[in-house]
Structure 1
């Protein structure tokens, strides 16, 4: 018998996609996304991320909170933002789910243009 290798990816249950990732997205976008989804590799999730203060701390961050996100609730998003430094600006997209490029594409575009103009 050969050696049993551990799995290298998570095969996401597509039946949960609509409720978790696309709960405010148009049906046609959900259909497109569901045929495009691939397994999620384990290695980026399992590897410990090491950041240097010098470089990590030198990048200004902007966060876009997706208010109707069922995959990462607002309370978890706010905790992630609070744990991150340095200076940051937080923007909220009402009506946006985990995939704001589907659920609120115009609002996301407007926000990204606004962020690009901040110095």
Structure 2
């Protein structure tokens, strides 16, 4: 839909995700930022960089390295960490009570993050069609733990110089709306867009999401 509107779109498979089969034990936050930085390095124009969920951490740290390459950062139901804060640290900034997510588990060796099968639909794809849910579920992988416990190191001079937009999902159970709002209250964005959606609006409400993204271009 974005391409039909005249934009060029690059969807990135981070190491250990999608078609990239880098072993979990070899992946850290730098692996992610190196991958994304390599994409940015090839671009002659500034990009609008969108991070969903965990990738909010990745786009924040990458913006510290390449602020001159990024026109705008868009956090789509994403983690928005403060300097010195990891993804997991973000859960400590607000008491979620009964809304605390239950989909994620960490293996005994503390090497990867997995998902409890019975909670995947309700936490990530509650508004999706059965077809989209099954497709999305087939793409899920175990994620290395290290990137999620590594604090970001960002400065106001570099990361802070890039405009930020947050797109919140009111019915997100993976990153509950209470946590989303606590994060962007602590790390203010120039604009907040509200969608009455689950965690994965690119599957469940693609037309509405595309309209919102096009409004930022």
Structure 2 gaps of 5+ residues are 1-107
TM-score (norm. length: structure 2): 0.48
Q: Judge conservation of contact 1:29–1:102 (CA < 8 Å) in 2.
A: yes
Q: Judge conservation of contact 1:65–1:91 (CA < 8 Å) in 2.
A: yes
Which of the residues 192, 209, 213 maps onto 1:90?
A: 192
Per the TM alignment, residue 51 of structure 1 is displaced from its structure 2 partner at its CA by 0.5
Structure 1 gaps of 5+ residues are none
Q: What residue number does 1:10 align with?
A: 113
**What CA deviation, in whole Å up to 9, does each residue of 1:36-89 have, x standing for no partner?**
10002111111111112210110100110111111122111110111114x520
Distance 2:179 2:114 in 1: 23
Per the TM alignment, residue 7 of structure 1 is displaced from its structure 2 partner at its CA by 3.3
Q: Judge conservation of contact 1:68–1:98 (CA < 8 Å) in 2.
A: yes
**What CA deviation, in whole Å up to 9, does each residue of 1:18-53 have, x standing for no partner?**
111111111111101111100021111111111122
TM-score (norm. length: structure 1): 0.85
The structure with more radius of gyration: 1
1:21 and 2:145 are equivalent in the alignment: no
Q: How many residues align?
A: 110
Determine helix, strand or coil for the equivalent of 2:157: helix
Per the TM alignment, residue 15 of structure 1 is displaced from its structure 2 partner at its CA by 2.3
Determine helix, strand or coil for the equivalent of 2:187: coil
Moved over 6 A (4+): none
Distance 1:14 1:6 in 2: 20
Which protein has greater RCO, CA pairs closer than 8 Å, 6+ apart?
A: 1
Q: What residue number does 1:106 align with?
A: 207
Per the TM alignment, residue 13 of structure 1 is displaced from its structure 2 partner at its CA by 1.9
Distance 1:62 1:14 in 2: 32
